[in-house]
Structure formats: C-alpha cells, structure tokens
Structure 1
C-alpha cells in the first residue's frame, strides 16, 4: 500500500506546489511509502528532494487531449490505470484542477483508491471541471485549499465542502537553516553596512506585481541614495523589468538576482520584505519572511490578512502611489517591533501543529 503524489511538473515555476506537497507528506507515518509522479518535467528540476519520481514526460497538448491526442486519450488513461494498479496505491494526492482533470476519470473506476485534491491558488473552474468534481464519488474525494480564504471561495463556487489546509513550515527546521544577516548579504553580493535593503521574492510574472513595485520604489527612494531593492526570482517578465531598472531613477538601486535555490535561507539580508502580489492562494514568501523575523509589507489581500490580521502592513495591489507611501512609512518604523508583532500573529508553532494534524486527517480520511 502506498500514497501516490501527482504533480503537474518539476521546475522553479512550481516550487511552491512542491513545498506544500512535501510538507503534507512529511506528516505521514514513515511506514507509508510515497511515490511521486511528475506529468511534465524532471525531478532534478525541483527545488526539493521529491525522491525517486516517475517522470511521465507528457506535453500539455497530450494531457489536455488537444488535437490528435483527443483520440489517444483512452490509451493514456490505460497507462495511468495500470501504473496505479502496479503501485498498490490506496491514496492519491493531486495537484490542483489540471492534474485532477487528467487523473479523476481514471480514478473514478478504481474504488479501492481515495483521492485528495489540493488547490494552491485561485482557480477558474469551467462547467466541465465542476461537473468532474461533483460527479466523483463523494465518499472517496476530499478537496482542500492552502488557505481559509481560498477554501471558502472554492466552496462557494462548487457547492462542495473544501477543507482549509493552511500551509505552514516547521519553525525550528526553517530557522535552523537561516543565514545570518552578514552571511546572507554576502551571498547576495550586498554591502554589509547600514544600507537599507528591501527584498522581494517571486517569479517574474505580471501577477506578482513587480512592475508596480519598481515604480513605487523609484518614487520612495528618490531622496534616499542608500536604499536598495533586491528581487529574487526568474520568469518571462525579466527583460521588461530590467529595462525599467536601467532608467536613471532606478539604476544602481535595484538588483535582479535571478532564481536562487537557497533563497529561503537568505531573508535576514533584508530590512523589509515587500510582497506586491495582485492575487495569491497563500503566499509562502510571507510566512518565510515572518519566520525569519523580517517585517512584511504586503498587498491588501484577504489571504494575507488571514495570516497577519492587523499586524500586517498593507498597500492596495497595483497602486503605485499607495505602495510608495507605504515603503516610506515602513522605513521610518521599528522593524524589530513590527516583525515581533507579525510573528505573534502568524503563531508559527501553533500553525505547524494545526497543519500537521489536518494533513494527517486528509490522508487518512478521518477528517
């Protein structure tokens, strides 16, 4: 008997998914073997160790049944079914609606297997997706979301119960890996001095709000030549962001360092962490910064308020003026005081305990 953990793909764009699934599976009994499937990409491209993964190496067109692959979908389903039988799986953990669309038709006729679908972010469910979930035997299907905000949204849309599994980190393990301020700044090539360093972490995509952040930072830092903004991440918007950084008001003030696999150890390099996202399912960056005891300024999103409440510092998404003012106010505040209040609000020890309990209940089917 085993657990099958099915994720859409390996690689940096899916790092948060890999982290969440790894956290869930770390809460299971050691005697329960876990086998990971990657429908696309490789295990070597994952930021975490996913073990000996089965790499299916399928294209999106094939998985979604486009063009000629529509005719060959039964063959693909047969391959999945045989692999599930060979694995002696009793629980299958699915990464979101894309993977669910691919596997649920196969799993529907395998009554010995229970299914848990984890939603990681806002999902637009079309009628076919809703019908697929509603039509699966309810006694064998559990839906869960990585935040209470996301769970409530999905529950309203589907008319089905969605469990809130607010992802969390093991505080002791996370903090033990953190580098000191001096070592983290050295790793990023930053001056170990009184220079004010603002940090941002995430993929370079529109939804992360970095274009707005650059404009806001340019306004806020105009009279502060010693301020710096460091953005850690990679993505398709790099060229556009780099072009903006090259203009006179930001040149030598903003650094795009690209993707760093050890970014979770580097938060102490920053005086503040800025999270200008337009939308998030949870926002692991917020949790990582708070665990490192670095204060956070984030977009005014329900999912961030869910975690930090009134201790959070917020600015409206995509509001350049609002973000500029908020950055200036943050620079004048006591970072240690704000960080301490946010740490108490997030309550990492209690959050990890709750996450561990809910994760075990989801897999065991006892929730």
Structure 2
C-alpha cells in the first residue's frame, strides 16, 4: 500500500503549499511509501526533497475541462484510476479544491482509498464544488484547513466538518538551521551595513500588499537614511515594484532579492518582519519569523490574531498611513521583548505537537 500526495504544480509559487504537505507527510510511518504526483510542471521545479514525482504534464485547460478538452475527461480519469491502482494507493492527499475537482470523481468509485483534502487559502466554492465535496462518501473523506479561521469559514459554507490543521514547524529542527545575524545580513548583500533592516517575504503578487508596504515604508523612512527594506520573493508584480523603488524617496533603500530557497534560514538578518497581506490562509512567514526570534508587524487579519492574539503588532491592510506609523513605532520599540512575547503567544512547541497529532489522525482516519 502507499500514500499518494497530489499537488497542482511545483515551483516557487507553490513553495508554501509543498512545505505544508511535507510537514503532514513527516508524520507518516517511514515504512509506508509516499509518492508525489504533479498535475502540472516538473519535479525539478519543486524545490523540495519529497523524492521522485510523477509528472502528468497537464495544462489548466485540460484539468478544468475547458472547451473541447471536456471530451478528453473520461480518458484522463481512466489514466488517473490506473495510476492509483498501479500504486496500490490507500490514502490520497489532495492539494486544495482545484486538485479535488480533478481527482474526486475518480476516487468516488474506489472504496479502498481514503481521501484527505487540504485547503490552504480562501476558496471560491460554486454549486458544483459544494456538491462534489458534500456528495463524496463521508466515511472516506476528510477535509482540513491550515488555520482555525479558514476551517470555520469553510465548515459554515459547506455544512460538513472541516478540521483545523493549523500548520506548524518543528521548533528544534527549524531553529537548528538558522544562520547567525551577521552572516545572514552578508548573504542578503546590499542590506549588510544598514542601521535597521525590515524584511518581507512572499510572492510578488497584489494580494501580498507589497505595493502598499512600499508607500508606508517610504513615509516612515523619509528621514532615515540607514533604514532598509528587503523583500524576498518573485512574481508578476516585480516590474511595478521596481519602478516604484527607483523613485527618489526609495532609491537605495529597498532591495528585491528575488526568490531565495534558503530564506527560512535568514530571518535573523531582520530587525522586524513585515507582513502586509490582504488575505492569508495562515501565513507561515509569521511563524518562521517568530521562531527565529524576530518580531512581526502584520496586517490585522483574523489568521494572524489566531496565532499571536494581543501580543501581535497589527496595522490595517492597505492603510499606508497606518503602516507608516506602525513601522516608526516598531523602530523605537524593544524588538527583543516583543519577539519574546510573540514567541510565548505562538507557543511553537505545543502548536507542533497539536499539528502532528491532528495530521496522524487525518491520514489514519482514527483517533
């Protein structure tokens, strides 16, 4: 028997999703084979160590059955079914609603297989999606979301149980990989000599709020020549961000590093980590920063309050003036004391223990 881990695609846009699935699969008995399927993209773009992956090389049009590709859906389902049989799959872990739409019609008629669907962020459920999930045999289907906030929202919309699997990291393993502060600053290049380094990590897409962050930082740093903002990530918004960074009020103060595979080891380089997102399924960046001993200033979102409560530092998403004020206050506060309070609120050791237990129950189907 084996476990099949089905992912939409690989590459940096999906790095955090793969990270969550790796954490879940780390709780599986090592003797049980785990096989990864990539519906799109290549194994080489995965940037993880989950082992060999089967590449299906399917386009979005094929997966969604658009236009004449609808005619090929039975053939595609037949291939998936044979792949599951050849792998002797007993548990299938599905990456979100898109993958569920593709595989659940096949899995519904395979009673030997238990299915776990992991939701990683806000999901637009239409009538077909709700029918697909609610119509699957409940004894063989488990739904989980990476935060309590997301789980409660989905459960209310679907009317069926959605388990809160709040993603977490093994604190000991994570902290053992951290690079010392000065070395981390050197690795980041142009920020090494700054008096204050504010860090931000994530895909360069609109919902991450980096354009608004630049405006807030520009206001706060106007009389602070030694301040630097380092944004780690890549994405389609890069050109627009670069154009803004080139303006006189930000010239020389902001560094776009691109995607860094080892960013999780470099958080000690930052005095503060800024998370200006408009929405998040959970926001693993908050956890990583706090585990590294770096305080976090984040958008005032329920998923962040869920994790650090009143010990979090928050500013309204998209409010440039409020972010400017919050950044200024952060620069004057005791970063060490705030980081310690946020660490205690996050309770990483207890969160990791809870995550491990919940992951094992989801995969096994028993308490």
TM-score range, shorter chain: over 0.9
Distance 1:28 1:9 in 2: 22
Residues 73-92 of structure 1: matches in 2 within 5 Å? Answer: 73-92=73-92
Q: Kindly indicate whether the alpha-carbon contact (under 8 Å) linking 1:295 and 1:335 is maintained by their aligned counterparts in 2.
A: yes
C-alpha contact (below 8 Å) 2:3/2:32 kept by paired residues: yes
In the alignment, is the contact (CA less than 8 A) between 2:5 and 2:35 conserved in 1?
A: yes
Where does structure 2 lack aligned partners over 5 or more consecutive residues? none
The 2-side partners of 1:68 and 1:54 are apart by 25
- What is the aligned partner in structure 1 of residue 324 from structure 2? 324
Question: Paired residue for 1:159?
Answer: 159
- Tell whether 2:248 aligns with 1:248: yes
Q: Distance in 2 between matches of 1:190 and 1:153?
A: 42
Tell whether the 8 Å contact from 1:91 to 1:363 is kept in structure 2 after alignment.
yes
Equivalences for residues 104-123 of structure 1 within 5 A: 104-123=104-123
Hey, what's the Cα distance between the residues in 1 that align with 2:243 and 2:87? 50
Q: Offset at 1:349?
A: 0.7
CA distance in 2, matches of 1:290, 1:83: 41
Structure 1 residue 34: Cα displacement: 0.4
**Which residue is 1:12 aligned to?**
12
Equivalent position of 1:139 in the other structure: 139
Deviations 1:297-354 (A, max 9, x none): 0000000000000000000000001100000000000000000000001111111111
Give the Cα separation in 2 of the matches to 1:42 and 1:19: 17
Q: Which residue of 1 aligns with 2:214?
A: 214
Aligned-residue offset at 1:194: 5.8
Aligned to 1:270: 270
- Root-mean-square deviation (CA, aligned residues, Å) is 0.8
Where structure 1 has 5 or more consecutive residues not aligned to the other structure, the ranges are none
- The verdict on how the C-alpha distance between 1:256 and 1:89 changes in structure 2, with shifts beyond 3 A counting, is same
- 1:361 matched to 2:361: yes
Secondary structure of the structure 2 residue equivalent to 1:361: helix
Q: Secondary structure at the residue paired with 1:76?
A: helix
Counterpart in the other structure of 1:259: 259
Q: Which residue of 2 aligns with 1:43?
A: 43
Counterparts of 1:69 and 1:210 in 2: how far apart (Å)? 37
Residues 182 and 269 in structure 2, CA contact (< 8 A), matched pair in contact too: yes
- 1:288 counterpart = 2:313: no
User: Which of 48-57 and 97-106 deviates more?
Assistant: 48-57
Distance 1:82 1:191 in 2: 53
Cα separation, 1, equivalents of 2:124 and 2:49: 30
**Alpha-carbon shift at residue 191 of structure 1 (Å):** 4.9
Query: Within 2, Cα distance between the matches of 1:206 and 1:182?
Result: 31
Q: CA deviation at 1:47?
A: 2.2
Preserved CA contact (<8 Å) 1:232 1:256: yes
Deviations 1:31-76 (A, max 9, x none): 1110000000112111211211101011000011011110010000
Matches of 2:32 and 2:15, distance apart in 1: 24
CA distance in structure 2 between the aligned counterparts of 1:362 and 1:116, rounded to whole angstroms = 7
Tell me the TM-score normalised to structure 2 length. 0.99
2:55 matched to which residue of 1? 55
**Aligned equivalents of 2:101, 2:194: Cα separation in 1:** 52
TM-score by length of 1: 0.99
What corresponds to 2:197 in structure 1?
Answer: 197
CA contact (8 A) 2:195 2:226 kept: yes
Shift of 1:108: 0.3
2:297 corresponds in structure 1 to 297
1:190 shift after superposition: 3.7
State the alpha-carbon separation in 1 of the partners of residues 152 and 43 from structure 2: 32
| Kept after mapping to 2: 8 A contact 1:43/1:50 | no
Alpha carbons 1:168, 1:287 under 8 Å: kept: yes
For the Cα contact (< 8 Å) 1:147–1:167, is it kept in 2? yes
**Cα contact 2:62–2:69 (8 A) shared by 1:** yes
Q: Do 1:92 and 1:116's aligned partners in 2 also have CA atoms closer than 8 Å?
A: yes
- Deviation, 1:192, is 4.1
